[in-house]
Structure 1
Amino acid sequence: MPKVKCSTVSRLRAFVQEFGHNIFSTDGLVLFCKICNVKVTAEKRFAVQQHLSRDKHINGVERSKSQNEKNNTQSFITDVPNRSEYFLDLTRTFLSCNIPLNKLENPAFSKFLEKYTNKQTPDRSTLRKNYVSICYDETTDANGRYIANIMIGILEVGNIGKMFLLNSEVLEKTNHSAIAKVLDKSLSILWSQGIIHDNVLLFLSDAAPYMVKAATSIQTYYSKMIHVTCLAHALHRVAEEIRIHFPNVDELINNYKNLLADNRISFLFENLKQALVVQCKSSECTD
């Protein structure tokens, strides 16, 4: 009889059962490594074994053995919906101090963080894919408050209409309901006698999930409104998905960029000097 292919849920649960609940967990869709705090490719058993043999995973296991079971759970088990607070704080600190995330790949710096925080240092790719977007989406002012800026413009044929800042509102939370309320309140400022819903034709925003949900919720009242998200965000998501499927190419490009990073300033400076010399010589010839 031909072999019956097992379901994804059964396969993932089998891996958890085989390698231990203290190593892996699953929600039925993905296999999650509790030690490394990452999703693991689990199409085949070989891919799971390959992850277990990596130095990063082995070091994580050794470090977890020296900790109390309760602390180990709190430090390393992070469900996909509940992002690690440590990773998020680390990303915010690096971005606010203009420190490149690739500095995390420095062995000395990585060991320093692990020694004094007793937490595993994440890869820069993990922070870039999962945490940088959160820091940018949750924009705050100098006092740490969430600010929503509502800008309006006139749609004209053949040219770009003028844009105006209609309202700036302090938000308690950045979610779809808060955005919907502040948008409705701002349009009440424009039409104090009553909002002309059919005159609202276009809603431009970024592609954050709560913005998409906010646009969907208010389209019931603004029936002629079309929601358009940032094209750059859409292309970025497509590019991130492509990178997942071509890890070797991704690593090659990252290594090449790191190779040029230290020489970039000197390279530009040398080219600038050459340009100035040529320009000076040219001006002398014309004089």
Structure 2
Amino acid sequence: MSISAALPTFVITLREGVEAALVVGIVLACLKKAQQSQLNSWVYAGVGAGIGASALVGLLFSWIIPVISNANPEYAPVIKPLMEGIFSAIAIVMLSWMLIWMTQQAKHLKADIEGTLTNTLQHNQAAGWGVFSLIFIAVLREGFETVIFIAANFQQGLFPALGAVFGLVGAVLIGVMLFKWGVKFNIRRFFQVMGVLLLLIVAGLVVSALKHFDAAVAAFASIDPASESLCFYREQFVRNPSCILGPRVWDTSQILPDNRFPGIILKALFGYRQNLFLVQAIAYVVFLVTIGSVYFRSLGWGQKMSATVQKTASSQQD
């Protein structure tokens, strides 16, 4: 396990953590404005409970995954990659949805939180629990996405955990700089850059998920001869090590191996593989085109580009 295993978890935890830090900062600012600072302890309790619950979910996954994998030793070569593929698919859906949703809701985030908090404070007896629930859900949601990503890669050990810890520390520092020290920080540009980086990471997860499913089908076909037809690319399997991914697009093992720097960094962050197959390449491009276009439209880049083109065209006519 190299330090490259910490990079994806660091990036995702930093981005998701900053989202949670924004919610916490907005709530604290609203409580101060409403002269309800006595409820700050409920905010901190919600943060601690959310982090603790996320860690508990992570420990639960780390216990369940080996149990399921070892439940039937004969099919262990099938179960492990199959579970990796399933968790990868879940992580792809969750991270993609959260990326687009957060971008679309960013303009209204402060107003929505203030409205929810105002309604909560009107119920004096339950105000503390209402604030706690708001913060707890925000932190748990971001933490759960990180846990799912780690589970998708079966990343256990020191380096992925350190990546998550440093990402969390970075998110806390950004939150403190914004709301405590009043440091001017272009949070919009931060989310744009981190969003593009997260988009590429999730696209790499698509490549990994297909590789896991390919390994699971190949293992199952080897164990059960009656299911050999599932491995429709089996005739070329010896020459071209793919079961359901089609022909190999490239083999860059001699030029840029994915187990040595810088290939290992590209693999950890962007899903680079020294052996890439046709189905993986198509899925990678389709994901970037579809989800990427939705993401960039949510940023308003399409409107800005159209306005720029129209402005350029009109200036040329003049």
TM over 0.5: no
If each structure's strand is expressed as a fraction of its own residues, which one has the higher value? 1
If each structure's helix is expressed as a fraction of its own residues, which one has the higher value? 2
TM-score bracket, shorter-length normalisation: under 0.3
TM-score normalised by L of structure 1? 0.28
TM-score normalised by L of structure 2? 0.26
Larger of the two Rg values belongs to structure: 1
